[in-house]
Structure formats: structure tokens, C-alpha cells
Amino acid sequence: MKKTLILIVLFILSTNLFSQTNSNNFSMEKAVHYLASEELQGRSPSTKGDSLAVDFITDLFVKAKLKPLYKTYYQEVVFKDMESIARNSKQAGPKNKFSRNVVGLLEGNDPALKNEYIVIGAHFDHLGLGSMMSASRSKEPNQIHYGADDNASGVALMLDLVNKFSQKINQRSIIFIAFTCEENGLIGSKQFLEELPFDSKQIVAMFNFDMVGMLKNNSLTVGGTKTSKESEKIIKKYSKANNLKVSLSPSGVGPSDHASFYAKNIPVFYFTTGADSTYHTPYDNPHRLNYKGIDIVSKFAFDISNDVVNRKDRLRFKRVKEPKNSGDRPTFKVTLGIMPDVTGSTDGVKAEIVSKGKPADKAGMQNGDIIIELNGKKVTDIYSYMNILGTLKENEAYKVKIKREGKTKELKVKL
Ligand SMILES: [Zn+2]
């Protein structure tokens, strides 16, 4: 009796130990809470928080037995410290500063296909204390911008995929990468492609996760859906299987690292659950995220990437005809001063945030208003909105038709 009891206890202990080492004790929720903690101070490149984030990610790569792509897991990334100029106007030029991309390789099993790569990435940098040169939308100085949704959520999801893929056999090779310096111009991803140790033609597809922590009503956006002949069909198949409502955004151009890959003729998949009013403010903290939602998005992303990693023929790249005036970082002469809802879950364009003091605000527009007409022309989605906006002139007044709580209203906005 005693012996069996001891055996049972030993058995439970050993299975527990086994399951712990097997899963690395990893949870996306814990990862977000750490990356977006007080201690990491908003992960501004070249700070202590940046190094701590790099250590955290490396640790998981090592546990999952990823191989370093270079001599180490690190690629040094150089960027210009624009703030040093702002602080010292006598200085001749901006100083060089350094951060690192963290890059790990999981080799494929098929002798031929292992020379083809799928890149799975997410940027880990954020705005630090949101100083004057950064893209902070906050007016209070020196507050930690935790960057929980942007983009601790995407890094957590990428690490979850590291665990999922490293426990199975894959035909093609997978490169997992945490990019630095996304917020100051996609610098990390551009440099990754410039210093690639193999031909960029060997990259079959790139998956980018940026702001995936706010799933609402099971709907999210996938960008780049027309950057290969096969993408849309694959996405539709797995959105159905996962019971998700997915807005398809055809273009491979966009404000995150996948754009660097699309520029090199690589099919891209950009996952996002969209921005809300906490975007680029100190209020983007870990307590606001939907962790069950991240699980759902991760399962969906795994299904799609697993298909692309293991399918017989590689995806066939397609360049998307861009709507007029769209670009990497669109520069419009005129702006209404709203942040549109990028999930595209409504007809028209929803103003997720109306910026104080900007034309839309002055015209009386409120957060949540849906723009359905601009200058007498119908606004159906973000593309028609941008197209119309591109035809408007500064200092002129235009009619804007909006929907607020089901009622239609007309405003006059002066640009
Ligand atoms: Zn981001």
C-alpha cells in the first residue's frame, strides 16, 4: 500500500515536471504583464527596459531550442538619436544609438523545403516615457507608456507560436524575430532584410503581429490578403474554422514591419485587433487586454502559418494595386484629425478617436461617430475615405455626414 502510494506520488511529480519543462511554463498573459511592467519603462530602444525585454525573449528562444540565425541570437540595429539634437541644438547631427533584433531559427524537416523560410515577427519596442520626439499622443510628460497592446501582445503571440511550432515537425524553416525600432520608422525590420544571410527570394511569407490584445466580438483585421494568389482562400478557410469575423485588407503596405517585407516582394499577413483611445498613451496597460482573445487569435494565426509552412507549393507573390494616396506613412496635406477604426467592422469610417483642437473636433465630431459622406461623396471604407481626403484643400470648408447613435447628422469641417 505504502509502496504504491509512493509510486503514485513519484509518478505525479514526474509528469508535473515533464509538463512544466515541455510548456516552458509560458503564458501570454504573464509575458504581457512582464513586458509592459513598470520595470521595463516602456521599452524605449537603447534603455535598460529594452535590454530586459531582449533577455526575456532570448530566454524563451533558448528554452524552445531555437538556433541563433547569426553567431548569436542578436542583430545589432543602429538608429539616430533625434532627441539628442532637440536637447542640444549646437550638436552637428544626431548621435548613433544601438539596439538589437532578437532572431531565432527553427529548421525545417524536408531536405528541399528547409531552404525556404517563413518569418514570424512582432516588434517589442515602444515609446518609453513618451518624450517630445516620440509618437506619444499624451500631453503629460514623463509618464511610462507601457505598450501592453502595442506591442507586448504581439510579442507574446509570437512567443506562443515559438512554443507551438517547436513541439512539432515542420517542412519549411521558420525564423522567429522580435524587432526593435519599429516605432521610429520600421528600422529593425529594414535592417534585418538588408543584412539577410540568404537570398530574400527564399522567404515564402512574413507574418506580423502588431496590437492583437483587444479582440472584440470575435472580429479582427488581417492585412496583406491579396499579396499572394493563395492568401485570401487560406484566411477564409481558417477564419471559418475558428469562428472569427475577419476584415480582409488587401494591401501589403501599412504602418508596421510587414511593409518592409512586402517592399521586397514577399507575401505578408498582418494581424491586428485594432487601436482604441489608449493607443500611444500611458493608458495602454496590461489590465485592459483580452487574454482569452489573444489565445483565439494565436490559434487562428497558428492554423494559417502552419498551412503556409507545410503546404507543397509555396505562395505566389502578387503586387496589390494600391488605392491612390496610400503609402507606408501617408503624408496628406489635409487631415480631419481623427484616428479611424482600422478593423473596418462598420460601413463608413468610424472615428475611434477625435483629436482635441483638430478640424473634426472643432466641427463638433465625437469619438465613435461614423463618417458616411465627405464633400458630397460616399465614404464606404478607409480607402474611399483616403481617396476623397486626397482631393480636399487646406483652409476650405467641407460638408461631412456622420452617423451618431443611429441618427444622421451633417457637420461643416474647416481644414
Ligand atoms: Zn506597434
Burial 248-271 (b: 16+ CB within 10 A, else e): bbbbbbbbbbbbbbbbbebbbbbb
Residue 13 falls inside a structural domain:
no
Same domain membership, residue 351 and residue 297: no
Same domain membership, residue 156 and residue 79: yes
- How do residues 27-84 score in pLDDT, each as one tens digit? 999 999 999 999 999 999 999 999 999 999 999 999 999 999 999 999 999 998 776 6
The CA 46 to ligand 1 mean position distance, Å, reads 17
Residue 315 falls inside a structural domain:
no
Same domain membership, residue 375 and residue 226: no
- From CA 22, how far away is CA 20, in angstroms rounded? 5
Same domain membership, residue 253 and residue 398: no
The CA 256 to ligand 1 mean position distance, Å, reads 7
- From CA 165, how far away is CA 117, in angstroms rounded? 14
- From CA 379, how far away is CA 83, in angstroms rounded? 39
Same domain membership, residue 99 and residue 44: yes
- From CA 53, how far away is CA 145, in angstroms rounded? 15
| Residue whose entry in the numeric block shows the C-alpha cell 539616430 | 80
The CA 361 to ligand 1 mean position distance, Å, reads 25
**Residue 24 pLDDT:** 62
- Angle at 69 (CA atoms; ends 63, 73), nearest 5 degrees: 55
Which residues span the domain enclosing 295? Answer: 24-310
**Residue 331 pLDDT:** 46
**Residue 330 pLDDT:** 44
- How do residues 142-180 score in pLDDT, each as one tens digit? 899 999 999 999 999 999 999 999 999 999 999 999 999
Q: What's the CATH code of the domain at 371?
A: 2.30.42.10
**Residue 12 pLDDT:** 52
Q: What's the CATH code of the domain at 227?
A: 3.40.630.10
The CA 151 to ligand 1 mean position distance, Å, reads 5
Residues of the chain by 3-state class (helix, strand, coil), percent to 5: 35, 20, 45
Domain stop point among 266, 293, 310: 310
The CA 272 to ligand 1 mean position distance, Å, reads 10
- Helix-helix angle 154-166:291-310, to 10 degrees: 50
**Residue 329 pLDDT:** 42
The CA 75 to ligand 1 mean position distance, Å, reads 20
Burial of 144 (0-12, 13-18, 19+ CB in 10 A): buried
Sequence-ordered strand ranges (E) for 180-266? 203-209, 219-223, 245-249
The CA 412 to ligand 1 mean position distance, Å, reads 33
Residue 391 falls inside a structural domain:
yes
Same domain membership, residue 359 and residue 286: no
The CA 45 to ligand 1 mean position distance, Å, reads 14
The CA 306 to ligand 1 mean position distance, Å, reads 24
Residue 36 falls inside a structural domain:
yes
The CA 277 to ligand 1 mean position distance, Å, reads 14
Same domain membership, residue 387 and residue 299: no
- Running along the chain, 415 residues long, what does each successive block of 10 average in pLDDT? 55 47 77 98 96 98 97 95 64 82 98 98 95 74 93 98 98 98 93 96 98 96 97 98 95 93 97 91 96 98 98 96 54 72 71 84 90 90 79 88 91 91
Residue 326 falls inside a structural domain:
no
The CA 144 to ligand 1 mean position distance, Å, reads 16
Same domain membership, residue 93 and residue 30: yes
Domain stop point among 310, 325, 351: 310
Q: How far apart are the first and last CA of the chain?
A: 84
Same domain membership, residue 288 and residue 394: no
The CA 212 to ligand 1 mean position distance, Å, reads 10
The CA 229 to ligand 1 mean position distance, Å, reads 27
Same domain membership, residue 150 and residue 77: yes
The CA 414 to ligand 1 mean position distance, Å, reads 31
Same domain membership, residue 368 and residue 301: no
Residue 317 falls inside a structural domain:
no
Same domain membership, residue 255 and residue 151: yes
Residue 3 falls inside a structural domain:
no
**Residue 189 pLDDT:** 96
The CA 195 to ligand 1 mean position distance, Å, reads 23
The CA 341 to ligand 1 mean position distance, Å, reads 15
**Residue 19 pLDDT:** 41
The CA 150 to ligand 1 mean position distance, Å, reads 5
The CA 159 to ligand 1 mean position distance, Å, reads 16
Nearest to 94 by CA among 163, 184, 12: 184
Per the structure, how many domains does the chain have?
2
Residue 376 falls inside a structural domain:
yes
**Residue 326 pLDDT:** 46
The CA 262 to ligand 1 mean position distance, Å, reads 17
**Residue 338 pLDDT:** 86
**Residue 11 pLDDT:** 54
The CA 183 to ligand 1 mean position distance, Å, reads 7
Under 8 Å between Cβ of 60 and 159 = yes
The CA 54 to ligand 1 mean position distance, Å, reads 17
The CA 61 to ligand 1 mean position distance, Å, reads 22
Mark residue 66 as left, alpha or beta (left: phi above 0; alpha: psi -120 to 50; beta: remaining).
beta
The CA 130 to ligand 1 mean position distance, Å, reads 14
Q: How many residues does the chain have?
A: 415
